[in-house]
Structure 1
Amino acid sequence: MFRAYLMSYFIGLCFFVNLKAQTSNCESSYFSEATLLKHIKSLSSDAFEGRRTGTAGAIKAKQFIVNQFHALGVLPFTKNYEQRFSFYKEKVHYKGTNILGEIKGTHFPDSYMVISAHYDHEGIKNGEIYNGADDNASGVCALLSFAEYFKKYPPKHSVIFAAFDAEELNLQGSKYFMKSGVAQSTKIVLNLNLDMVSRSETNTLFVVGTSHNARLKWIYKKNKLACGIILEAGHDGLDGREDWTYASDHMSFFLENIPFLYFGVDDHDDYHEPTDTFDKIQPQFYINAVKTMINYFEKVDDLRLYY
Structure 2
Amino acid sequence: MQWIIGIVGCLFIFSAQAQLLKDIQELSADNMQGRKTGSDGTELARQFIAQRFEKLQLGAFNTSYLQMFNYGFGQHKTGTNVVGYQRGCTYPEHYIVVTAHYDHLGNEGKNIFHGADDNASGVAALLELASRLSERCSAYSYIFIATDAEENGLYGSKAFVSSPSVPLGNITLNLNLDMIGRPDRRGRLYLTGAKRYPALIALLAQQFSYLQYLPHRGPGQGLRSLPRYDWPNASDHGPFHRAGIPYLFFGGQDHRDYHTPNDTWQNIEPEFLEQAMQAIWHTVQWLEQQAPQSLQAPN
Specify the TM-score bucket, using the shorter chain as the normaliser.
0.7 to 0.9
Structure 1 residue 117, shift from structure 2 partner:
0.1
Structure 2 CA distance for aligned equivalents of residues 28 and 218 of structure 1:
29
The 5-angstrom pairing of residues 81-92 of structure 1 reads: 81-89=65-73
DSSP-derived class of the 1:75 partner: coil
Distance 1:225 1:150, change over 3 A: farther
Bigger shift: residues 235-244 or 131-140: 235-244
Are 1:234 and 2:214 counterparts?
yes
Per-residue deviation, 1:182: 2.0
Structure 2 Cα separation of the partners of residues 250 and 169 of structure 1: 15
Q: Which position in structure 1 is the counterpart of 2:256?
A: 269
Cα deviation digits, residues 141-164 of structure 1 (max 9, x gap): 110000111011332110000110
Q: State whether residues 17 and 270 of structure 2, in contact with CA within 8 Å, keep that contact through their aligned partners in structure 1.
A: no
- Cα deviation for residue 82 of structure 1 reads 0.8
Q: Give SS of 1:152's match.
A: coil
Where does residue 220 of structure 1 map in the other structure? Answer: 201
Equivalent position of 1:256 in the other structure:
243
TM-score, normalising length: structure 2:
0.87
Please name the residue that 2:126 is paired with: 143
2:17 to 28, 33, 39: 33
2:31 corresponds to 1:44: no
**Cα gap change, 1:227/1:61 in structure 2, threshold over 3 Å: closer, same or farther?**
farther
- SS of 2:134's equivalent in the other structure is helix
After superposition, residues 143-162 of structure 1 pair within 5 angstroms as: 143-162=126-145
Q: Residue 71 of structure 2 aligns to a residue in which SS? A: strand
Gap regions ≥5 residues in structure 2 = 1-5, 295-299
> How many residue pairs align between the two structures?
279
Q: Cα distance 1:97–1:68, how it changes in 2: closer, same or farther (>3 A)?
A: same
Report which stretch shifted further, 74-83 or 243-252: 74-83
Q: Which has the higher contact order (CA 8 A, sep 6+)?
A: 1
CA contact (8 A) 1:197 1:286 kept: yes
2:50 matched to 1:69?
no
Is the contact made by 1:49 and 1:57 (CA closer than 8 Å) also made in structure 2? yes
Using structure 1 for the length normalisation, give the TM-score.
0.85
Q: Distance in 1 between matches of 2:201 and 2:11?
A: 21
The residue aligned with 1:111 is 94
Q: Please state how far the C-alpha of 1:126 moved relative to its aligned partner.
A: 3.6
Does the CA-based 8 Å contact 1:78-1:100 persist in structure 2? Answer: no
| Alpha-carbon separation, structure 1, partners of 2:47 and 2:179 | 21
Distance 2:129 2:12 in 1: 12
Distance 1:291 1:275 in 2: 26
Call closer, same or farther: CA 1:226–1:47 in 2, change over 3 Å: farther
Q: What amino acid is aligned across from residue 30 of structure 2 in structure 1?
A: D
Can you list the C-alpha shifts for 1:60-101, whole angstroms capped at 9, x where unaligned? 100000011111222223422111111224x78321111111
Identity of matched residues, %: 37
Asked whether the 8 Å contact 1:76–1:100 carries over to 2, the reply is yes
